[in-house]
Amino acid sequence: MALGTRIDVGVDDRVLAVAVSGAPDGRPVFLLHGSPGSRSGPKPRSSVLYRQGVRLICYDRPGYGSSTRMPDRRVADAARDVQAIADHLGIDRFAVVGRSGGGPHALACAALLPDRVVRTAVLVGLAPTDAAGLDWYRGMSEANVQAHTIARRDTLQLMHQMRELAAQTAADPESLIESLRTQASAPDLRFMQSVIYRRMLANSYADAFRVGPYGWLDDILAFRGEWGFELDTIDRPVRLWHGAHDTFSPASHSRWLAQRIPRAEVHVQYGAAHFAAMEVLPRILAWLTT
């Protein structure tokens, strides 16, 4: 199997589109993409992964890219999909890192696959919407607040809005980046000036909306619902990283998670925001594979 080629993995009557990069015999790490995102999302070059001894596995969550949609999925369902991919690839034990919307799904793997997940990292992740004692929306951009609020009261309205956004993004992936710029803090605005990172994001968004907005819609609905696992059952090491000036998923979410996960450590980096998670990924991969 050539690294970087698409692999289709069957789960029941669904197909998951998977990509593997880095060292063929390296230590396996699953990278769970953001919301929206895809398996082609920002990641270190294969040469960097090879030097780190990392075999990086990425896949399109159901409804994104080339993966079959799974309506009414829960966050917990990601554990079953990751397990199926690991079984297909002949991988017994592995680490998991989730970025942004991938964060809750990474925690699901840690909680529900305790005999297989050795370490977990969450970069700029989200807390459950019913998190006791957390002002969930505080510090969040207006557009994100609106999407989550609409999801709570009117799924059809959210679907209509996201269909329009997905169609526009599919035609011009840069348009979503420009929309995000209007919601971003200064560190993220500086980050978005990078031609390389903008190209990575544009490619990921184009792939994400290949068949419509369903993956993104289902992510938002899953975040708003019952996740399907308990945070305090996670007994493996967890590292949480967050940019202090994040306006998409505020750093208070990682601080809250760190208080509920028994072996979690949290690092909030000042002068950084949401998209800096891409830059810290190589350092996180080093910790995951130690």
DSSP letter, residue 68 = P
Angle between helices 155-171 and 173-181 (to 10 degrees): 120
Using DSSP's 3-state secondary structure scheme, residue 148 falls into helix
* Residue with the two structure tokens 């397990």: 83
Please give the chain's pLDDT, 290 residues, in tens. Answer: 455 678 999 999 999 999 999 999 999 999 999 999 999 999 999 999 999 999 999 999 999 999 999 999 999 999 999 999 999 999 999 999 999 999 999 999 999 999 999 999 999 999 999 999 999 999 998 887 877 777 677 777 878 888 888 888 888 888 989 989 989 999 999 999 999 989 999 999 999 998 889 999 999 999 989 999 999 999 999 999 999 999 999 999 999 999 999 999 999 999 999 999 999 999 999 999 99
C-alpha distance across the termini of the chain, in Å:
26
Which domains are delineated in the chain? 6-288 (3.40.50.1820)
Using DSSP's 3-state secondary structure scheme, residue 58 falls into strand
Query: Residue 277 in contact with residue 241, Cβ under 8 Å?
Result: yes
Structure tokens at 64: 């994104």
> What integer pLDDT is reported at residue 231 of this predicted model?
98
